[in-house]
C-alpha cells in the first residue's frame, strides 16, 4: 500500500466519524477539536483554534522560502434530517452533512498529513478550516479576526464536491464561478376591510400579486441577455381569514448575479418596481434589501494553476477548464476579494444532490482530492512572484 493510499484510507474513517457528529454554523465544538487534534498529531508547526469563532488554522513550514499558500475547507453541516441509512449516518436528529463539508475537511486533513510527512517544498502552507459557510459568512468572520494579517499568504484555494461529476474529475474556470446572493423583504401597506366591500380597501394581496409578476421582468427585460441574473420570490404572506382583506402583505426572495455591476442593477430594479407598483394601486411598499455573499471570482493565473496541476496528475480529460458557473453562492468569495486564488470543483459521482437528505460524500474522492491539494500547494509555492 502506498503512503497516499494509507492516508486516504485513514481519511475515510475521519470523514465517517465527522459525518456521525455534524454541527451547525459556529457551534463546532467537537468538529474543531477533532481537526486541531489531527493537525497537532501530524506535527504541524502551529495549530491555532478559535479563529473567527470556531475556525482552526494549521501552519506547516517546509524548507526556507518566500511564498505562502492557504488551502481552505469548510466544516459546518446543515439542519436537514438524514435519510441515507448509512452505517455512519448522522447521530444528531435534524442535522446532517448534506453538502459534503465532512469530506472537504477529511480531504484537507489528508493533504496536511501528506505534506507534513514529506515537507518536500519551500515556503509555508496554511490550512484553513472554516466554520459557518452555510449562511453564516464564516469566511468573513475569519478575515475580521485577522486571518490574513496573522497568517499572510500569496494565494488561497478552495474546493467543493460536485454531484454528477465523476470521481477523479475536476472543474474550474477563470472569472466568476459562483454567484452573489442577496435577499429582500417587501412589506406592502394597504388598507384592510371587509372582503365584501373591496372598493373601500387597498388590497395588499392584489398589489403583491402584481409585484410578483413585475419583478420577473427585471431579468427578462432589464438585464443584458448575455449576463446571468436571478430574481425569485420565495415567500408571500398575507391575511388570516377568508372574509377580510388584510392591511398588509409581505414578500421575500433572493437575487443572484455573476457580475458586480449586474448585482447593483438588480438591487436598484427591485426597489424601483416595488415602489412604483405599490404606488399605482395607492399602497406603499417598504423594502429591506440585505446583501449576502459576493460573486466568487477566480483569478486567471490561479485557475490555470489548478488546471495544470490536475492535468499533470491525471491527464487532460480529468479537468474541465471552462466549467459553467453556478448561481449558488459561496463565502470563499470574501477571501478572493482580499487574496489571489481560485475555487474549483471535484467530482462526487452519481450521488444525490447537495442539500438533499439522501446525499453522502463519495469516500473514493478523498484520495484524488488530497493529492490535488498537496500538489497544488507545492505548485503555488514554487511559482514566480
Average pLDDT, the chain: 96
- C-alpha closest to that of 335 among 52, 32, 38: 52
pLDDT at 1 over 50: no
pLDDT band of 4, cuts 50, 70, 90: low
Q: Output the pLDDT for position 262.
A: 95
The neighbour count for residue 92, using CB atoms within 10 Å, is 14
Does residue 350 carry a pLDDT above 50? Answer: yes
- Report pLDDT for 2: 66
**108-146 pLDDT per residue, tens:** 999 999 999 999 999 999 999 999 999 999 999 999 999
Query: What's the pLDDT at 7?
Result: 81
Question: Which pLDDT score, from 0 to 100, does residue 319 have?
Answer: 98
Going along the chain from its start, the domains and CATH numbers come out as: 3-178+295-381 (3.40.630.10), 180-291 (3.30.70.360)
Nine cell digits for residue 8: 486516504
Q: Please tell me the predicted confidence (pLDDT) of residue 3.
A: 65
Predicted pLDDT at 227: 87
Written in H, E and C, the secondary structure of the chain is CCHHHHHHHHHHHHHHHHHHCCCECCCCHHHHHHHHHHHHHHCCCEEEEEECCCEEEEEEECEEEEEEEEEEEECCEECCCCCCCCCCCCCCCCCECCCCHHHHHHHHHHHHHHHHHHCCCEEEEEEEEECCCCCCCHHHHHHHCCHHHHCCCCEEEEEEEECCCCCCCEECCCEEEECEEEEEEEEEECECEECCCHHHCECHHHHHHHHHHHHHHHHHHCCCCCCCEEEEEEEEEECCCCCEECCEEEEEEEEEECCHHHHHHHHHHHHHHHHHHHHHCCCEEEEEEEECCCCEEECHHHHHHHHHHHHHHHCHHHEECCCCCECCCCCHHHHHCCCCEEEEEEECCCCCCCCCCCCCCCHHHHHHHHHHHHHHHHHHHCCCC
Q: What is the pLDDT of residue 8?
A: 79
Q: In what order do the strands lie in the sheet with 284-291?
A: 229-238, 248-257, 180-189, 284-291
At 6 the pLDDT is 78
Taking residues 196-223, what's their average pLDDT?
A: 95
Q: Quick check: 367 pLDDT over 50?
A: yes
Catalytic residue ranges: 76, 133
pLDDT band for 226, please (50, 70, 90 cuts).
confident
Question: How does pLDDT run across 283-330, given as a tens digit for each residue?
Answer: 999 999 999 999 999 999 999 999 999 999 999 999 999 999 999 999
pTM: 0.94
Asked whether 119 and 375 are in contact (CB, 8 A), the reply is: no
Position 195 confidence tier, pLDDT thresholds 50, 70, 90: very high
How confident is the model over 247-291, as pLDDT tens digits?
A: 999 999 999 999 999 999 999 999 999 999 999 999 999 999 999
Amino acid at each position: 500500500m502506498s503512503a497516499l493510499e494509507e492516508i486516504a484510507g485513514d481519511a475515510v474513517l475521519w470523514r465517517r466519524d465527522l459525518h456521525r457528529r455534524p454541527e451547525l454554523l459556529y457551534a463546532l465544538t467537537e468538529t474543531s477539536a477533532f481537526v486541531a487534534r489531527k493537525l497537532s498529531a501530524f506535527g504541524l508547526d502551529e495549530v491555532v483554534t478559535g479563529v473567527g469563532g470556531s475556525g482552526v488554522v494549521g501552519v506547516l513550514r517546509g524548507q526556507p522560502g518566500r511564498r505562502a499558500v492557504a488551502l481552505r475547507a469548510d466544516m459546518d453541516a446543515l439542519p436537514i434530517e438524514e435519510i441515507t441509512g448509512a452505517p455512519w449516518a448522522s447521530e444528531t436528529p435534524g442535522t446532517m452533512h448534506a453538502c459534503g463539508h465532512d469530506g472537504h475537511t477529511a480531504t484537507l486533513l489528508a493533504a496536511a498529513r501528506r505534506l507534513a510527512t514529506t515537507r518536500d517544498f519551500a515556503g509555508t502552507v496554511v490550512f484553513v478550516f472554516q466554520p459557518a459557510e452555510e449562511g453564516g459568512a464564516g469566511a468573513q468572520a475569519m478575515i475580521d479576526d485577522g486571518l490574513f494579517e496573522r497568517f499572510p499568504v500569496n494565494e488561497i484555494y478552495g474546493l467543493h464536491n460536485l454531484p454528477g461529476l465523476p470521481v477523479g474529475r475536476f472543474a474550474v474556470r477563470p472569472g466568476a464561478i459562483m454567484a452573489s446572493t442577496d435577499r429582500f423583504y417587501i412589506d406592502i401597506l394597504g388598507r384592510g376591510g371587509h372582503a365584501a366591500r373591496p372598493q373601500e380597501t387597498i388590497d395588499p394581496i392584489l398589489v403583491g400579486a402584481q409585484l410578483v409578476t413585475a419583478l420577473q421582468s427585471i431579468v427578462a427585460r432589464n438585464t443584458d441577455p448575455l449576463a446571468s441574473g436571478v430574481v425569485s420570490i420565495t415567500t408571500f404572506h398575507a391575511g388570516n381569514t377568508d372574509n377580510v382583506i388584510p392591511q398588509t402583505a409581505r414578500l421575500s426572495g433572493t437575487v443572484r448575479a455573476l457580475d458586480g455591476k449586474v448585482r447593483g442593477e438588480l438591487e436598484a430594479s427591485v426597489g424601483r418596481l416595488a415602489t412604483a407598483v405599490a404606488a399605482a394601486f395607492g399602497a406603499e411598499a417598504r423594502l429591506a434589501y440585505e446583501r449576502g455573499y459576493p460573486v466568487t471570482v477566480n483569478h486567471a493565473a490561479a485557475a490555470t494553476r489548478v488546471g495544470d496541476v490536475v492535468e499533470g496528475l491525471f491527464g487532460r480529460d480529468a479537468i474541465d477548464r471552462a466549467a459553467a458557473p453556478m448561481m449558488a453562492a459561496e463565502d470563499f468569495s470574501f477571501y478572493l476579494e482580499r487574496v489571489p486564488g481560485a475555487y474549483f470543483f471535484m467530482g462526487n459521482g452519481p450521488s444525490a444532490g447537495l442539500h438533499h437528505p439522501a446525499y453522502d460524500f463519495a469516500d473514493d474522492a478523498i484520495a484524488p482530492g488530497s493529492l490535488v491539494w498537496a500538489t497544488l500547494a507545492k505548485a503555488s509555492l514554487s511559482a514566480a512572484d
